[in-house]
Structure 1
């Protein structure tokens, strides 16, 4: 029989293993892959927030939304190169700002629709970003 102490140790070990996997992936990732990882992290946090909202776990919902906000503001927004990116970077900055405001409002008002809109927008951007990094199929003509 597994004791509570063993379960806790296993949980800590599994958590540490997952962190090492993410850190190793980040260290070996290209800049493009890092952006994809940021999108994936933000989307996962928003999905968690929606589940917590539906289950009435408001503190956990707030933590998940805070994580998504950090990724959008400190990751995606910070990765924009306004100088080289020009108008595209400017438009992405506006969109990230809008998404961040929607997440804040979703948190303040327990608004699932705003969470869904943020998720939809990030999913569209993530899909476009993934396609940019996909090598063309077939051989050279």
Structure 2
């Protein structure tokens, strides 16, 4: 359980972060919860595995909601996010770690690409 001060600090980070940083936080959160779900499955703690996978599904929902549909890449991302949601459901039903590893790989790619995009955008502003 997160201590009150730590929880307050995390909430402050979210409240004050620019939108590009929030997306990065979502990607990192998804990776964290996928790792936790994989460990829970390995430990045969299926209740916690379900909880962690559900958290990742919630993150995917948030990513879908925040897509700016005026950009063509948004439609491609929507298809990928939809695919990830289906794979998460499959993993939750079957408790299959290999599916979670696939999902984790996608989120790591998203995160790394997003970091590069942030860096590039910031360097172009200077």
Using structure 2 for the length normalisation, give the TM-score: 0.92
Q: Give the Cα separation in 1 of the matches to 2:29 and 2:110.
A: 13
Segments of structure 2 that go 5 or more residues without pairing to the other structure are none
CA root-mean-square deviation:
1.6
Q: Tell me the SS of whatever aligns to 1:133.
A: helix
Shift of 1:129: 0.5
Segments of structure 1 that go 5 or more residues without pairing to the other structure are 1-10
2:37 maps to 1:49: yes
Rg (Cα) greater in structure: 1
After TM superposition, the structure 1 = structure 2 runs for residues 14-93 of structure 1, keeping only pairs within 5 Å, are 14-73=2-61, 75-82=62-69, 84-85=70-71, 87-93=72-78
Shift of 1:15: 2.4
Q: Across the two proteins, how many residue pairs are aligned to each other?
A: 123
Q: Give the Cα separation in 1 of the matches to 2:37 and 2:3.
A: 20
Structure of greater relative contact order (alpha carbons < 8 Å, 6+ residues apart): 2
Runs of at least 4 residues off by over 4 Å: none
Q: Tell me the SS of whatever aligns to 1:99.
A: helix
Render the CA deviation track for 1:35-54: whole Å, top value 9, x for unaligned. 00111111111110000000
Q: Which residue of 2 aligns with 1:6?
A: none
Using structure 1 for the length normalisation, give the TM-score: 0.82
